[in-house]
Amino acid sequence: MSEDPNWRQQPPGEQQPYGQPPPQYGQPPQYGQQQQPYGQPPPQYEQSQYGQPPPQYGQQQQYYGQPPQYGQAQLEYVSVGPRFLAILIDGLIIGAVTGILSFPFRDSPGTWGGSIGLIAILYYIVMEATQGATLGKMALGLRVVKVDGSPISWSESIIRNVLRIIDGLFFYLVGAILVWNSPLRQRLGDRAANTVVVRRRG
């Protein structure tokens, strides 16, 4: 029998062309698949555009009532003890001022008695809105700031100090319980105004 010159059996040792993966056992060969030219890097997928940071994965969302996680300076939150001492100092200052101002109203103590509470609230609002702290807090190195560490404005100062009427019930027992149960050491006024009391830096 003569052998067909056009038919040649592939030698058993012939190697697969360079750059083409060997066929998998039990799978038919794939045709029409474009090979990567020799010397060129493989294509890159989902490459971020120039000037844009790569997407971040695995970051947790910050929820209400939790301290800031990343990219923010760590704040040292103040608990009940130093804040109560600051209230005592402020109380002495308010008492001295109202005592001096009460002389014109000594014949009508009932009228003046209602004004003492208003003067105290105004004292806290003005001092914290303009200075970030009352004189009692300044003496102990404390400061009122927003949760992100920025200074508070008049709106935050008004909200947190108007609600001081509730926090101050039973000699500030209500406020103390809320502070003890808050990770940011916030009383009711702080939670409503989104503020915290921290130690002053430097």
Query: Mind listing the pLDDT tens digit for each residue in 151-172?
Result: 999 999 999 999 999 999 999 9
pLDDT at residue 92, rounded to an integer: 96
> What does pTM read for this prediction?
0.63
Q: What's 20's DSSP letter? A: S
What does the block give as tokens for 101?
């101002």
* Identity of the highest mean pLDDT range in 18-27, 32-41, 114-123: 114-123
Query: Mind listing the pLDDT tens digit for each residue in 40-88?
Result: 655 555 454 555 555 454 444 444 445 544 435 589 999 999 999 999 9
CB 142 within 8 A of CB 200: yes
CB 125 within 8 A of CB 157: yes
Estimate to the nearest angstrom the gap between the alpha carbon of 113 and the chain centroid. Answer: 42
Of the two residues 1 and 200, the one the predictor is more confident about is 200
Mean pLDDT within 147-152: 95
pLDDT at residue 58, rounded to an integer: 46
Exposed/middle/buried for residue 166 (C-beta within 10 Å: 0-12, 13-18, 19+) = middle
Exposed/middle/buried for residue 42 (C-beta within 10 Å: 0-12, 13-18, 19+) = exposed
pLDDT at residue 193, rounded to an integer: 97
